[in-house]
Each structure stands twice: as structure tokens, then as C-alpha cells.
């Protein structure tokens, strides 16, 4: 389909060039009498041809978009994210992205399980894979658990895939920016000498130190429970969505 679409675009380009050449020929060739009727006839032919080509272009474009792939561009972030439809699930890029997402979300889910979060749901989506948690952030200890869970997605990628991907970094809703904000809250909640302004210059040094500390702690926990991450990742790729009860059933069997 891509080749057909590209071929059609090339035909349109050739047509526009041909129209330009014909018009230039009539304009500069003195032997051909340019009458009002000739101009009207040629303009009508060109307009009808353009209209037909545009209709065919829109039909071909719609066929191409619906059956092959769509591209969604995040304009505020300046990057493009490819959304693969169900027809292309065997596409290598789709499979790789799905694997990365399943590993990432498995890291979140396993850490949520180990932190004894009561209710959460793991969703593997081509658009926005995520772990949805329902919990009360009542104290600093609960905030710390949330930070460890935030870091666990990228850590799972490091452990199982030997590298992190950019999804943890970009956007206000991504894991690392959110973890940083939670660390600031944790500092204010645990240190009464800190003001409540959350100013970066006051919190910067402690934020960096705690980020490294919590990252190491989260990595140690997941490294010791690698089998759990692998199991949830495999089940997530197969099922697409896992409830907290399903995650607990899978991991309870491994824990025994």
C-alpha cells in the first residue's frame, strides 16, 4: 500500500509539471493563437483533472491511513509516536514496543505488589501503557513507596532489556518528573527545617541525594525479584490488562 500511495503522489507531481509546461508553451509560442475560447477550454480541462486527482488522492490517503498505520505527533513535545493498529500486530516495531511497554509496566506492578498497594490495574495499551493505582498518600512512608514504584518501570527495562527508553523522561506525566516532585514533597514532609515553598534552590541537593538513594533501593528490590517481573511481563503481553488480584495470584505462586 505504501508503494501504491507513493506512486500516486509521483503521478500528481508529474501532472502538475505537465500543466505548467503546457501553459508556458501557449504563453511563449507566438505561432499558436491564444484565444479566449482556448484559454477557457484548457482551464476547464485542468480544473476537472485536478478535482479528479484530489478526490483520488483523498480516497487513497484514507485507505492508506486506516489499513496501514497512523502517526500521532505530540506537538508540545516535538516528537512523533507511532500507533499501531490491530492489523499490524506482527510488525517488528509493534512487537518491540509492546515488549518494552510490558516490561516497564511489569516493573511498576511488581513494585506495587511488594509495597503492598491494595488496588491497582496494569494496562498494556498501544497508546498509553500504565499502572493505575488507588491509594491514600497519608504519610511520608506512602510517598516513598510511590517514588519506588515510579522508578521501577525504567529499572525493569534496565534489568530485562539492558537499557532504558525515553518514555520515562519526556512529558510532565512521565515517571521521572513525577518522582522528582514526590521527592520534594518527601523532603518537606520529613524535614521540619525546610520551608514549604518547594523552591528548587533549597531542595536541589537533597533531591539529588534522595533520588539516587531511592533509585538504588528500587533497583535492589526488583533485581532480587527478577522472576516476578518476567512473569508479569509475559502475562501482560498475552492478556493486555491485569487487575491487582490477578497480579497477586501470579506473584503469590512465585513467592511460594
Grouping H, G, I as helix, E, B as strand and the rest as coil, residue 135 is: coil
Q: Are residues 138 and 28 in the same domain?
A: no
Note whether residue 216 is domain-resident.
Answer: yes
Clarify whether residues 113 and 237 are in a common domain.
yes
- C-alpha cell read off for 242: 491485569
Instruction: Give yes or no: residues 18 and 102 share one domain.
Output: no
Q: Across the 256 residues of the chain, what is the mean pLDDT of every consecutive 10-residue run?
A: 55 65 57 59 66 64 43 28 40 83 92 87 61 62 93 95 87 87 93 88 94 97 95 89 88 85
If you write DSSP's letter for every residue of 161-191 in order, what string do you get? HSS--GGGTSSTTSHHHHHHHHHHHHHHHH-
Strands 79-83 vs 130-134: parallel, antiparallel or unpaired: unpaired
pLDDT score for 162? 92
DSSP per position, 63-94: HHHHHT-EEEEETTTTEEEEE--GGGTTSHHH
Q: Which domain holds residue 47?
A: 2-68
pLDDT at 55: 67
Is 27 domain-assigned?
yes
Tally Cβ neighbours within 10 Å of residue 5.
16
Are 98 and 164 in the same domain?
Answer: yes
Rounded to the nearest angstrom, the gap between the alpha carbon of residue 78 and the centroid of all alpha carbons in its chain is: 12
Q: Do 61 and 92 lie in a common domain?
A: no
pTM value?
0.62
Domain's final residue, options 18, 35, 68: 68
Residue 160: φ, ψ to 5°: -95, -30
pLDDT at 127: 46
What is the CATH classification number for the domain harbouring 104? 1.20.58.760
Is 77 a domain residue? no
Residue 78 domain-assigned? no
Question: Domain check: are 155 and 251 in the same one?
Answer: yes
Domain boundary among 68, 100, 117: 68
C-alpha cell at 215: 533509585
Amino acid 74: pLDDT: 29
Amino acid at each position: 500500500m505504501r508503494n501504491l500511495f507513493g506512486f500516486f503522489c509521483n503521478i500528481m507531481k508529474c501532472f502538475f509539471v505537465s500543466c505548467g509546461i503546457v501553459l508556458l508553451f501557449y504563453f511563449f509560442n507566438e505561432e499558436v493563437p491564444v484565444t479566449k475560447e482556448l484559454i477557457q477550454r484548457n482551464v476547464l480541462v485542468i480544473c476537472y483533472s485536478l478535482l479528479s486527482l484530489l478526490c483520488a488522492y483523498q480516497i487513497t490517503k484514507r485507505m492508506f491511513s486506516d489499513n496501514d498505520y497512523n502517526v500521532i505527533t505530540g506537538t508540545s513535545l516535538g516528537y512523533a509516536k507511532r500507533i499501531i493498529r490491530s492489523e499490524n500486530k506482527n510488525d517488528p516495531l509493534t512487537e518491540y514496543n509492546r515488549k518494552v511497554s510490558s516490561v516497564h509496566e511489569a516493573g511498576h506492578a511488581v513494585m506495587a505488589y511488594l509495597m503492598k498497594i491494595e488496588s491497582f490495574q496494569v494496562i498494556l495499551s498501544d497508546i498509553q501503557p500504565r499502572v493505575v493505582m488507588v491509594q491514600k498518600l497519608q504519610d511520608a512512608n506512602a510517598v516513598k513507596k510511590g517514588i519506588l514504584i515510579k522508578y521501577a518501570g525504567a529499572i525493569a527495562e534496565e534489568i530485562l532489556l539492558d537499557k532504558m527508553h525515553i518514555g520515562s523522561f519526556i512529558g510532565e506525566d512521565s515517571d521521572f518528573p513525577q518522582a522528582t516532585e514526590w521527592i520534594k514533597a518527601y523532603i518537606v514532609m520529613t524535614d521540619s527545617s525546610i520551608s514549604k515553598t518547594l523552591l528548587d534552590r533549597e531542595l536541589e541537593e537533597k533531591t539529588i541525594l534522595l533520588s539516587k538513594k531511592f533509585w538504588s533501593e528500587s533497583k535492589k528490590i526488583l533485581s532480587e525479584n527478577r522472576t516476578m517481573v518476567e512473569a508479569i511481563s509475559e502475562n501482560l503481553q498475552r492478556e493486555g490488562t491485569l487487575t491487582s488480584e490477578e497480579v497477586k495470584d501470579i506473584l503469590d505462586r512465585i513467592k511460594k
